[in-house]
Amino acid sequence: MVDLSLSEDQQAFQKIARDFLDNEVVPHRAQWDRDERVDTAIIPKLGELGFFGLTIPEEYGGLGGDYITYCIGMEELGRADSSVRGIVSVSMGLFGKIVLDHGTEAQKQEWLPGIATGEKLGCFGLTEPDTGSDAGNLRTRATRNGSDWVINGSKIFITNGSWADVCIVFARTGGPGPKGVSAFLVPTDTPGFIREEIHGKLGLRGQVTSSLTFEDVRVPDSAMVGQEGGGFKIAMNSLDKGRVSVGAGCTGIIQGCLEAVVDYSTTRKQFGRQLASFQMIQDMIAQISLDADAARLLSWRAADLIERGLPFSIEASKAKLFASEKAVDAANMAIQVFGGYGYVDEYPVQKYMRDARVMTLYEGTSQIQKLLIGRAETGVNAFL
Ligand code: CAA
């Protein structure tokens, strides 16, 4: 790992995180992948170590850590098992951070202590069957009824959906487009909240991904987060931070591929020589090593901007775009180095490949990131 003068606390956290994950996750990840389910006993253990509260302040039960520490945690999780990273990242990074940044004091008191310790899981209900990239045109509707809101509609591809205790649901309370969207905190045991697991995924098989249906789901006015009509900006703002997490998690995939190919190529022999002694193998290893450093630095740059309270959304898009595309490339090259062994699940590289693939899709596709970067560079909006 590149050393950019991490503080002692950051280095200590990285070591604790890696040791823990190498013992508690890495030995089981292939079986969890086959089972299409992590052993959920890992969730309270991750909570004890502080993964779910990395950037949540101590007063709400978190570690109160900085965003570079957050990136370190997400990288280590991505190196170990992206399914586990997804569980943490969505519960804390998307759900928890929304409550922290936009919630009332009562909402923070109600939800953050449980989220920060992993005792409760959150999920993020934005994507719908007909509106993925075009999130501003979502159709789920919340209608006022006395002092309550009644929600009807559906969501799809929701990480943690079937395991979560609470969901931040984005629903239309006004007219068409982004300005008509509001956000609500909805406990998943509310009558009419229906969840169904999605099976047969290419990767991220250990985490639960669900479709959600809302049939007259009634919540009080106090469930609204932020202002009426302010939900889309809350979603975009939290996705900016989520993209830093994806960038760091993908750095972990690239780093994992690097370690795997170095280990394999220095022990495996062909034509009477170490694989590592072949120039074409070194070419791939050098590329993966370079991409690990570049992905890490892009993620840390965005994290540093967050820490300093500066605009970071385009830097987050660049980190996510680069790291996710390079994670796919790294895993693909790693399989090439491993040859036939790379194609079976005795070794981790095929799992890295399958897990990496969704990273170019969720939390904004590579094309959406490019259009955001292009809009920032040119001032011309390609979404109109
Ligand atoms: N932060 C705060 N506000 C923002 C913002 C941001 N990053 N981006 C946009 N806004 C504001 C704009 O300023 C604008 O407000 P004003 O009108 O007051 O100026 C408003 O939001 C609308 O912005 P746009 O005109 O840019 O909106 P758009 O409809 O053109 O959409 C988009 C832009 C970039 C395509 C957006 O829809 C988008 O990011 N789509 C991708 C959705 C996505 O990432 N989905 C991921 C699903 S979640 C997931 O994967 C979770 C999981 O379980 C892992």
pLDDT in single tens digits along all 384 residues of the chain: 445 678 999 999 999 999 999 999 999 999 999 999 999 999 999 999 999 999 999 999 999 999 999 999 999 999 999 999 999 999 999 999 999 999 999 999 999 999 999 999 999 999 999 999 999 999 999 999 999 999 999 999 999 999 999 999 999 999 999 999 999 999 999 999 999 999 999 999 999 999 999 999 999 999 999 999 999 999 999 999 999 999 999 999 999 999 999 999 999 999 999 999 999 999 999 999 999 999 999 999 999 999 999 999 999 999 999 999 999 999 999 999 999 999 999 999 999 999 999 999 999 999 999 999 999 999 999 987
| pTM of model > 0.85 | yes
CA–CA gap between residue 47 and residue 130 (Å, rounded): 35
CA–CA gap between residue 173 and residue 260 (Å, rounded): 50
Instruction: Evaluate: CB of 87 within 6 angstroms of ligand 1.
Output: no
Q: Is the dihedral of CA 296, 245, 37, 352 positive or negative?
A: negative
Q: How much is the pLDDT for 152?
A: 98
Q: Provide the residue type at 315 as one letter.
A: E
Encode 336-347: b = buried (16+ Cβ within 10 Å), e = exposed.
Answer: ebbeeebeeeeb
What are the φ/ψ torsions at residue 377 (nearest 5 degrees)?
A: -75, -40
Q: How much is the pLDDT for 5?
A: 78
Q: How much is the pLDDT for 106?
A: 98
Q: How much is the pLDDT for 384?
A: 79
Q: How much is the pLDDT for 4?
A: 66
Q: Strand 269-270 vs strand 181-187: parallel, antiparallel, or unpaired? A: unpaired
Instruction: Evaluate: CB of 375 within 6 angstroms of ligand 1.
Output: no
Q: How much is the pLDDT for 1?
A: 45
Among residues 119, 215, 363, 377, the one annotated as catalytic is: 363
Separation of CA 235 and ligand 1 centre (Å) = 7
Separation of CA 236 and ligand 1 centre (Å) = 4
Best residue among 232, 306, 372 to mutate for probing ligand 1's pocket (most ligand atoms within 8 Å of CB) is 232
Tell me the Ramachandran region of residue 138: left when phi exceeds 0, alpha when psi lies from -120 to 50, beta otherwise. Answer: beta
Residue nearest to atom 23 of ligand 1 (CA): 178
Instruction: Evaluate: CB of 383 within 6 angstroms of ligand 1.
Output: yes
